[in-house]
Amino acid sequence: MEDFLVPIFICVVLPVAIVWLVARTKQNETNRKAEIMLKAIEAGTPVDLDQFKSDAKVHKTIKQDLLEKLNGACITTFMGVAFLILGILRVVITDFGRSTFLNKFWLPAGGVLLAVGIGLFVTYFVGKKMLAKEMEAEERNLEK
């Protein structure tokens, strides 16, 4: 039963729940903005349209972008190491015998996460080295 339900949950239920939650959040935000706008129009007060602009166009500095990569690298690397350790422990505890989906899942998932984490570390350090002059110029512009 576990071999059937876990893959169904991971491959079907989890992605559907994530999409539903993101869509619901955006819809609630839009409804709140529309409600505020309607109340302001009813009251006859002037409406500041800049208040309702999307926050998606916020400009990130090069340093912030690199730090997000470093954060992602740390998280995926630690998760990869944890999954690999968990996979090895599950194989040892089950005496190398019982082959379930979860025993097959931990080791490859840990390997993939570890590889992604190492790749993000490489992009962070290469980007930091290549963009050092641009980061200095950006910081000087922000200080002005």
Express each pLDDT in 20-73 by its tens digit.
999 999 999 889 888 888 888 888 888 777 766 665 556 788 889 999 999 999
17 and 42 inside one domain = yes
Taking the alpha carbons of 48, 49, 51, 52 in that order, is the dihedral positive or negative?
A: positive
Residue 123 has a pLDDT of: 93
111 and 94 inside one domain = yes
Residue 99 has a pLDDT of: 64
129 and 64 inside one domain = yes
Residue 144 belongs to some domain of the structure:
no
Residue 67 belongs to some domain of the structure:
yes
49 and 67 inside one domain = no
76 and 100 inside one domain = yes
Residue 46 belongs to some domain of the structure:
yes
Number of domains in the chain: 2
Residue 10 belongs to some domain of the structure:
yes
Q: Percent helix, strand and coil across the chain, each rounded to 5?
A: 85, 0, 15
Is residue 3 within 8 Å of 100, Cβ to Cβ?
yes
76 and 124 inside one domain = yes
Range of the domain at 9: 1-55
Residue 1 belongs to some domain of the structure:
yes
- Mean pLDDT score, 97-108: 71
Ramachandran angles phi, psi of 53, nearest 5°: -70, 155
